[in-house]
Chains A and B, each alone.
Chain A
């Protein structure tokens, strides 16, 4: 039995709708990752009882909680703006929830002391929230939410207003506190790095639905759609015009270039192919989001600075130019713009984004902006993906 079990949850407000399911084991930290407006915060608010869903069930620790008011659900919530009570000092912010849960006065002192030790906020107890730094406020908000020993902790982008070093520091800190207390937590973010670092389970959310879930490794190694690849920045994506299926290989035509992909690596509706004359799929898509894409993971790409003398039979390849190089610590990243594909539209990425890719360059590379390069993609490592997982029947 899952500790948090959400089934067939539906919520509608105006044009916005959430329709999803989600499950999390006890003690796990789940991270909901998605772009702004995808419904991440609303989903947390539905779980906390701050919004009312139209149908579906939410169970926590084996009991239905979706009919309970927020104060009866025993769920801790760390809000994006932290929502600390400015008229109370740190100690009374911590005491507040304990008093609401009728914890005896004799025990409250001990709990506050223990929490303030764990979260290193002892010197802050007599200070008001406005007299604390961003990190201190963050720790107080987390401690306050954990004080009542909740069955589930919800965190709504609590680090979004902090600078990068403090964000990194607090991520490590939160991870260890959650492990220490064995708290089940659901964390919302649009920061991929934060999601990878905090999540035992990753839920990729878009347009009100969780489209992919799994461990960070599963989500990154076996992406289900082009949108996930694009959002997580996992590799190269090229829109497909037509597919022709053979026994073992599928030929993909992208613009005026041809590529080969293992049939087993095609996450596509094969009916689209086999129902077409001569087992041939031709894209009728009027928008990129209805299309299929060729994908190759970043770590499998090989960069060749000049035009390859002879096309290697084991590799698909594309040519293009380096638009920009960014050096970030020990990493060197290049923005690569493919050329010669003969695509009808420059904005052919999933959701109509421009066809530009971030590639990792070797440290000793002499490549410079404006250089022409070729990118080799081993055929066995290429995939055909639908633009959105929900387009799979």
Chain B
């Protein structure tokens, strides 16, 4: 059982691999270096100190410790709640055949193609004082006094994070569970165990890697959460990412930003290490288990539990998304007036209110141009690093420690810091900084995706092409490249989907001149123009949805 095997000895790559690795590492760490330079020069209007002792003092200050504590506790609580919500779904999806099963699996697209800014909007609309949820409760005669404050509380934040990320658990754990042979659990039963003990002995140890893989991924997402915390988390605390943004953008405190960024990076690296470790184990188990086991038909008690579960998901999770859609097409004759269906919100965004025309077309063009460029750059970087890491893999397909670090490190670097660093390095060329920043965030995902495809290449096919008369270059181009092409397409679509929904980097860089769709939505929310924000959100979701659709299609092909 490969998932339980000892890791193979690491590989070493050649000089070219080391150079590529060092360059990629440099590209990732350049923004941090820019901040360090700024700090040593005492830059930033509100900078505290320029020596190590000063940094240590900042680190141990109550404010910093509170932020660290808040970041960790909200990420941990969100992860646990996401697991609690997602695991029953994974169980049903993996073990039963039922109408709506594909819908549950489809939910996994949401964390990847619904930008955070839209989540903010959807939850504000749905769980706000006048939103569907509390209006519904009032209609039923249930009055919740503190409804308006829930979203802005610690648990409100945890709730949003959990409901945004639980589909990851359904997808990742469900994929292993549906392949897991039942024989070990059955063996435990025949050896005298009850159902629960048999599950604990025969199934849980094999599901644990995928549960921990999902948990570490969700922890990372929540730990770096920016937009959601920026809007909802201000009452009870703030995450490191938001405080880095505030230190860089508003107080100009490079010392504080540096301390917070370093702490964040260290914690995130631990989470990335966990993720990589359990991701490898999960992939190995999936490979070992092979094909999907036959799914059972629902019997009565399970059907009732599933119906309750589905109703809760619809109520708490699909509800906000539905309210987003409805709001986009809800046109009011006057503020607080009658509502009717129409395209008025879209028209207003297209035509604008002044003489300069609407902001929608401009922001769409900006988004397409910036995200397209970022995705292309991310693909080039990701391909180079994945190719170089692959050339240094050992017989067991394990890449070197340097390659692992190069691919993992960017996942642990603050996007706000990345934006700031590239902003400093590019001077007044904000657009270059946005593209560089977004590609820094996206390329590790490309490298991972392509790296996996390269790792599963069958050398026999390359050799077959050689015996049929192809030169090494031709065999690589016609056979190997053809095999990994769907993965490259998938990675490209994912990189595009990620970057077009990103709000952090343009926001940090104050990209007002290059307003992207997420920035437009953020601006509309800030000025309480929710209906128009929803209309712009639908357009954004359309782009990310199309990109994600292509990603899924490419994944199926590969």
Binding site for B on A (CB under 8 A): 45, 48-50, 69-71, 73, 75-77, 79-81, 83-87, 96-97, 100-101, 128-130, 144-145, 148
Which B residues are in CB contact (< 8 Å) with A148?
191-192
Contact status B191-A96, CB under 8 Å: yes
Which A residues are in CB contact (< 8 Å) with B3?
86
Q: How many residues of B contact A (CB 8 A)?
A: 23
The answer to the question of B187 belonging to the interface, with a C-beta cut-off of 8 Å to chain A, is yes
Smallest CB separation, A134 vs chain B (Å): 14
- Of the candidate stretches B95-103, B193-201, B375-383, B474-482, the one touching chain A is B193-201
How many residue pairs bridge A and B at CB < 8 Å?
Answer: 75
Which A residues are in CB contact (< 8 Å) with B5?
130
Q: How far is the CA of A97 from the CA of B187 in the complex (A)?
A: 9
With A79-B183, A128-B4 as known contacts, state yes or no: A85 contacts B190, CB within 8 Å. Answer: no
Contact status B201-A85, CB under 8 Å: yes
Pick the most buried of B183, B193, B206: most chain A CB atoms within 10 A of its CB: B183
Smallest CB separation, A26 vs chain B (Å): 20
With A77-B187, A79-B187 as known contacts, state yes or no: A97 contacts B205, CB within 8 Å. Answer: no
Which A residues are in CB contact (< 8 Å) with B191?
71, 76, 96-97, 100, 144-145, 148
Contact status B4-A83, CB under 8 Å: no
Which B residues are in CB contact (< 8 Å) with A129?
1
- Residue A83 contacts which of B184, B192, B193, B205 (CB distance < 8 angstroms)? B184
The answer to the question of B188 belonging to the interface, with a C-beta cut-off of 8 Å to chain A, is yes
Which A residues are in CB contact (< 8 Å) with B2?
130
Which B residues are in CB contact (< 8 Å) with A45?
186
The answer to the question of B189 belonging to the interface, with a C-beta cut-off of 8 Å to chain A, is yes
Task: Name the residue on A nearest B2 (C-beta).
Answer: A130
Q: How far is the CA of A71 from the CA of B188 in the complex (A)?
A: 8
Q: How far is the CA of A144 from the CA of B251 in the complex (A)?
A: 67
Which A residues are in CB contact (< 8 Å) with B194?
69, 71
The answer to the question of B181 belonging to the interface, with a C-beta cut-off of 8 Å to chain A, is yes
The answer to the question of B202 belonging to the interface, with a C-beta cut-off of 8 Å to chain A, is yes
With A81-B181, A83-B181 as known contacts, state yes or no: A130 contacts B189, CB within 8 Å. Answer: no
CB neighbors of A among B156-199 (8 A) = 181, 183-184, 186-194, 197-198
Task: Name the residue on B nearest A100 (C-beta).
Answer: B192
Contact status A77-B1, CB under 8 Å: no
Contact status B186-A130, CB under 8 Å: no
- Residue B190 contacts which of A48, A86, A128 (CB distance < 8 angstroms)? A48
Q: How far is the CA of A83 from the CA of B191 in the complex (A)?
A: 12
With A81-B183, A100-B197 as known contacts, state yes or no: A86 contacts B189, CB within 8 Å. Answer: no
Which A residues are in CB contact (< 8 Å) with B206?
86
- Residue A71 contacts which of B1, B181, B190 (CB distance < 8 angstroms)? B190
Q: Nearest 10 A-B pairs (CB), nearest first?
A: A100-B192, A97-B191, A83-B183, A83-B187, A70-B189, A77-B190, A86-B1, A86-B4, A79-B183, A87-B205
Smallest CB separation, B296 vs chain A (Å): 10
Smallest CB separation, A388 vs chain B (Å): 28
